[in-house]
Structure 1
Amino acid sequence: MRMRRRSVWSRAGRGVGLVVLLLALGLAGAAWWLRSSSAPRLTGRLDLSGLGGPVTVTRDAWGVPHIRAASDEDAMYALGFVHWQDRAWQMDFQRRVVQGRLAEVLGEAALPQDRFLRTWGFQRAALSALPALSGRSRRLIRAYTAGVNAGMAQGKVALEFRILGYTPEPWQEVDSLSWSKLMAYDLGGNQEEEVLGARVVARLGRGRLNDVTAPYPAGAPTVLSADELGKERPTPPPARPSTGTEQAALPEATLGALRAHLQAARALGLERVPGKGSNNWVIAGRRTSSGKPILADDPHLGLTSPMLWYLADLQGDTLKAIGASIPGLPSIVIGRNERVAWGVTNVNPDVQDLYVEPADARLTQRTEVIRVKGQPDVRLTVRESAHGPIVSDVGAGEVGPRVALKWTALQPGDTTLDAFLGLNYAQNWTDFKRALERYVAPSQNFVYADVDGNTGYYAPGRIPVRRGWDGSLPVPGDGQHEWQGYIPHARLPQTFNPPDGLVVSANNQVVPGAYPYALGNPRNWAEPYRAQRITQLLTVRPGGLTLADVQRVQLDTTSLVWGDFRPALLATAPGSDLARQALARLRDWDGQEQTDSVEASLFEGWLMQLQGLAADELGDDTRLNSFSVLNQLRRGGELCAVKGEGTCAALLTRSLDAAVADLQERLGPDLDSWTYGRLHRVASNHRAFGKVQALAWLFNHSAPTPGGTNTVNVARPEPGTFAQTHGPSYRQVIDLSDMNRSVYVGSLGQDGSPLGRHASDQQPLWIAGNYLPMSTDPADWGQTHALTLRPR
Structure 2
Amino acid sequence: MRTVFIWLFRLTVVAFGLVAIAGVLASYFATRSIPDYNARLIVPGISAEVEIVRDNANVPHILGSTDTDSFFGLGYAHAQDRMWQMIMLRRTVQGRLSEVFGARTLPIDRLMRRLDLYALSVQSVIVQDPAARDALQAYAAGVNTRLQEVSQEALGRGAPELFLFSNRIAPWQPADSLAIIKLMALQLSSHLELEVLTARASLVLEEGRLRDLIPDAVGSGVAALPPYASLQPGLPRFAESTPLPDHPLSPFKQRAFASASNAWAAAPARSAAGGTLLANDPHLGFTAPTIWYLARLNLSTGGVIGGTIPGLPLIMSGRSNDLGWGLTSAYADDQDVFLEQLNPENENEYLTPNGYKPFVSRPSIIEVKDQASETLTLKWSENGPILPPEHYSLGTITRPGFVTSVAWTALSPTDTSFSAGLAMMKAPNIEGALAAMERFVAPAQNLTLADANGIALKTVGALPARDARHQTQGRMPSPGWITSNRWQGRLPYRTNPEFLTPEGGILGNTNNKVIDRPFPEHVSFYYSDNQRILRWRRLMQNRSVHTRDSFIEAQLDTVSNTAVTLLSLIGAELWFADAAAPAGTPERQRQIALSMLASWNGEMNEHMPEPLIYAAWVRALQARLIADELGPLAAEFTQLEPLFIERVFRDIEGASAWCDVLQSSPVETCADIARLALDDALVWTAERYGTALESLRWGDAHVATHDHQVLGATPILKWFVNIRQSTSGGDNTLQRGRTIGTGPDPFLNVHGAAYRGVYDFADPDSSVFVTSTGQSGHPLSRYYDDLGELWRRGEYIPMSLDVDLARAAQAGTTVLEPAPQ
When normalised by structure 2's length, the TM-score is 0.86
Question: Does 1:540 pair with 2:542?
Answer: yes
Taking a change above 3 Å as real, the CA distance of residues 286 and 766 of structure 1, as seen in their structure-2 partners, is: same
Is there any run of 5+ residues in structure 2 with no aligned partner, and where?
1-15, 344-349, 351-356, 579-585
Taking a change above 3 Å as real, the CA distance of residues 218 and 779 of structure 1, as seen in their structure-2 partners, is: same
Which position in structure 1 is the counterpart of 2:477? 474
Question: Does 1:369 pair with 2:380?
Answer: no
| CA deviations over 1:305-338 (Å, ceiling 9, x no partner) | 1100100000033352110010000111111111
Which position in structure 2 is the counterpart of 1:7? none
Taking a change above 3 Å as real, the CA distance of residues 254 and 489 of structure 1, as seen in their structure-2 partners, is: farther
Q: Which amino acid aligns with 2:82?
A: R
Give the Å deviation of 1:27. Answer: 8.1
Give the Å deviation of 1:364. Answer: 2.4
Give the Å deviation of 1:358. Answer: 2.1
Q: Which of 470, 492, 513 is 1:488 aligned to?
A: 492
Distance across 2 between alignment mates of 1:758 and 1:468: 56
Taking a change above 3 Å as real, the CA distance of residues 749 and 252 of structure 1, as seen in their structure-2 partners, is: farther
Give the Å deviation of 1:778. Answer: 3.9
Deviates more, 1:152-161 or 1:358-367: 358-367
Is there any run of 5+ residues in structure 1 with no aligned partner, and where?
1-20, 221-238
Paired residues of 1:188 and 1:443 also in contact (CA < 8 A)? no
Distance across 2 between alignment mates of 1:685 and 1:755: 15
Taking a change above 3 Å as real, the CA distance of residues 64 and 26 of structure 1, as seen in their structure-2 partners, is: farther
Number of residue pairs aligned between Structure 1 and Structure 2: 749
Question: Does 1:511 pair with 2:515?
Answer: yes
Distance across 2 between alignment mates of 1:419 and 1:588: 51
Which position in structure 2 is the counterpart of 1:766? 791
Which position in structure 2 is the counterpart of 1:676? 698
Give the Å deviation of 1:649. Answer: 2.3
Q: Which of 725, 737, 741 is 1:703 aligned to?
A: 725
Taking a change above 3 Å as real, the CA distance of residues 92 and 262 of structure 1, as seen in their structure-2 partners, is: closer
Taking a change above 3 Å as real, the CA distance of residues 243 and 373 of structure 1, as seen in their structure-2 partners, is: closer
Q: After the TM superposition, which residues 390-789 of structure 1 pair with which residues of structure 2 at under 5 Å, given as runs?
A: 390-394=386-390, 400=400, 401-451=402-452, 453-466=453-466, 467-469=468-470, 470-478=473-481, 479-513=483-517, 517-521=521-525, 524-543=526-545, 545-571=546-572, 573=574, 576-612=587-623, 613-616=625-628, 617=630, 618-623=633-638, 624-635=640-651, 636-645=655-664, 646-719=668-741, 720=743, 721=745, 722-781=747-806, 782-789=809-816
Paired residues of 2:203 and 2:229 also in contact (CA < 8 A)? no
| CA deviations over 1:636-677 (Å, ceiling 9, x no partner) | 533334444444223212221111111111112222211112
Give the Å deviation of 1:243. Answer: 9.6
Taking a change above 3 Å as real, the CA distance of residues 284 and 578 of structure 1, as seen in their structure-2 partners, is: same
Q: After the TM superposition, which residues 126-145 of structure 1 pair with which residues of structure 2 at under 5 Å, given as runs?
A: 126-145=121-140
Give the Å deviation of 1:412. Answer: 1.9
Other structure's SS at 2:253 match: coil
Paired residues of 2:187 and 2:251 also in contact (CA < 8 A)? no
Deviates more, 1:607-616 or 1:684-693: 607-616
Which position in structure 2 is the counterpart of 1:279? 262
Give the Å deviation of 1:245. Answer: 8.9
Question: Does 1:92 pair with 2:96?
Answer: no
Taking a change above 3 Å as real, the CA distance of residues 250 and 438 of structure 1, as seen in their structure-2 partners, is: farther
| CA deviations over 1:250-304 (Å, ceiling 9, x no partner) | 7768997995568789944633216941110110111111111100100111111
Taking a change above 3 Å as real, the CA distance of residues 508 and 369 of structure 1, as seen in their structure-2 partners, is: same
Distance across 2 between alignment mates of 1:424 and 1:318: 9
Paired residues of 2:189 and 2:258 also in contact (CA < 8 A)? no
Question: Does 1:101 pair with 2:96?
Answer: yes
Distance across 1 between alignment mates of 2:123 and 2:611: 48
Distance across 2 between alignment mates of 1:626 and 1:297: 25
Distance across 1 between alignment mates of 2:656 and 2:113: 42
Taking a change above 3 Å as real, the CA distance of residues 693 and 490 of structure 1, as seen in their structure-2 partners, is: same
Paired residues of 1:23 and 1:31 also in contact (CA < 8 A)? no
Other structure's SS at 1:710 match: coil
Distance across 2 between alignment mates of 1:462 and 1:707: 33
Taking a change above 3 Å as real, the CA distance of residues 381 and 641 of structure 1, as seen in their structure-2 partners, is: farther
Give the Å deviation of 1:180. Answer: 1.1
| CA deviations over 1:154-187 (Å, ceiling 9, x no partner) | 2132111111232321111111111111211222
Distance across 1 between alignment mates of 2:125 and 2:340: 30
Q: Which amino acid aligns with 1:697?
A: W
Deviates more, 1:507-516 or 1:107-116: 507-516
Give the Å deviation of 1:207. Answer: 3.9
Greater C-alpha radius of gyration: 2
Give the Å deviation of 1:24. Answer: 11
Distance across 1 between alignment mates of 2:234 and 2:785: 48
Deviates more, 1:116-125 or 1:251-260: 251-260
- Aligned Cα root-mean-square deviation (Å): 2.8
Taking a change above 3 Å as real, the CA distance of residues 176 and 293 of structure 1, as seen in their structure-2 partners, is: same
Distance across 2 between alignment mates of 1:151 and 1:570: 61
Other structure's SS at 1:437 match: helix
Paired residues of 1:299 and 1:729 also in contact (CA < 8 A)? yes
Q: Which of 336, 344, 355 is 2:338 aligned to?
A: 355
Deviates more, 1:313-322 or 1:594-603: 313-322
Other structure's SS at 2:782 match: coil
Q: Which of 331, 334, 337 is 2:320 aligned to?
A: 337
Give the Å deviation of 1:31. Answer: 6.0
Which position in structure 2 is the counterpart of 1:297? 280
Distance across 1 between alignment mates of 2:272 and 2:405: 54
Other structure's SS at 1:57 match: strand
Paired residues of 2:612 and 2:701 also in contact (CA < 8 A)? yes
Taking a change above 3 Å as real, the CA distance of residues 704 and 369 of structure 1, as seen in their structure-2 partners, is: same
Taking a change above 3 Å as real, the CA distance of residues 539 and 28 of structure 1, as seen in their structure-2 partners, is: farther
Which position in structure 2 is the counterpart of 1:82? 77
Percent identity over the alignment is: 33
Q: Which of 282, 286, 291 is 1:308 aligned to?
A: 291
Paired residues of 2:79 and 2:146 also in contact (CA < 8 A)? yes
Taking a change above 3 Å as real, the CA distance of residues 127 and 271 of structure 1, as seen in their structure-2 partners, is: farther
| CA deviations over 1:180-202 (Å, ceiling 9, x no partner) | 11211222351110010011111
Paired residues of 2:259 and 2:329 also in contact (CA < 8 A)? no
Give the Å deviation of 1:128. Answer: 2.5
Question: Does 1:324 pair with 2:343?
Answer: no
Other structure's SS at 1:665 match: helix
Other structure's SS at 1:322 match: strand
Give the Å deviation of 1:468. Answer: 2.0
Distance across 2 between alignment mates of 1:388 and 1:196: 20
| CA deviations over 1:207-247 (Å, ceiling 9, x no partner) | 43212112222399xxxxxxxxxxxxxxxxxx9x9999997
Distance across 2 between alignment mates of 1:700 and 1:346: 27
Query: Higher relative contact order by CA 8 Å / sep ≥ 6: 1 or 2?
Result: 1
Taking a change above 3 Å as real, the CA distance of residues 355 and 655 of structure 1, as seen in their structure-2 partners, is: same
Q: Which amino acid aligns with 1:535?
A: R
Distance across 2 between alignment mates of 1:23 and 1:743: 49
Other structure's SS at 2:415 match: coil
